[in-house]
Amino acid sequence: MNLVAYFKARWKPLVYGFLVGLIAGVVRVSVFVPQQVPDSARFFLIAQIAVAFSALGLFVSNYLELRQRVFQKVKDSQSK
C-alpha cells in the first residue's frame, strides 16, 4: 500500500483529530497563555496541538483496525 492510498483510506481520523486539536489548541492558548506572548507563538502552539491530535486520531484508528483483524483471525481459527 503506498502512502497516498494509506492517507486516502484514513482521512477521517486525520481531519477529525485535526479539528478537535484546533479547538483544544485555541482553548488552551486562550486560557493558559499570557497575553504578552506574540501571536506567531500562539499560532505555532495551536498548530502543534492540532497536529498532535491528528496523529492521535490516526494511531487510534490503526489500533482499532489491527484489533479487529486480530479478533477476526482468532474467530476464523476457532471455527476451523
Q: All 3 cell numbers of residue 22? A: 484546533
CB 48, CB 26: distance < 8 Å: no
Q: All 3 cell numbers of residue 14? A: 486525520
Note the pLDDT tens digit of each residue in 26-80.
999 999 999 999 999 999 999 999 999 999 999 999 999 999 999 999 999 998 7
In this prediction, residue 7 has a pLDDT band, given cuts at 50, 70 and 90, of confident
Q: What is the rounded average pLDDT of the residues 17-31? A: 96
How far apart CA 50 and CA 63 sit, in angstroms, is: 20
CA nearest neighbour of 14 among 47, 67, 60: 60
How far apart CA 64 and CA 45 sit, in angstroms, is: 29
Residue 1 has pLDDT above 70, yes or no: no
Q: What is the rounded average pLDDT of the residues 13-24? A: 96
User: What is the value of pTM for the model shown?
Assistant: 0.83
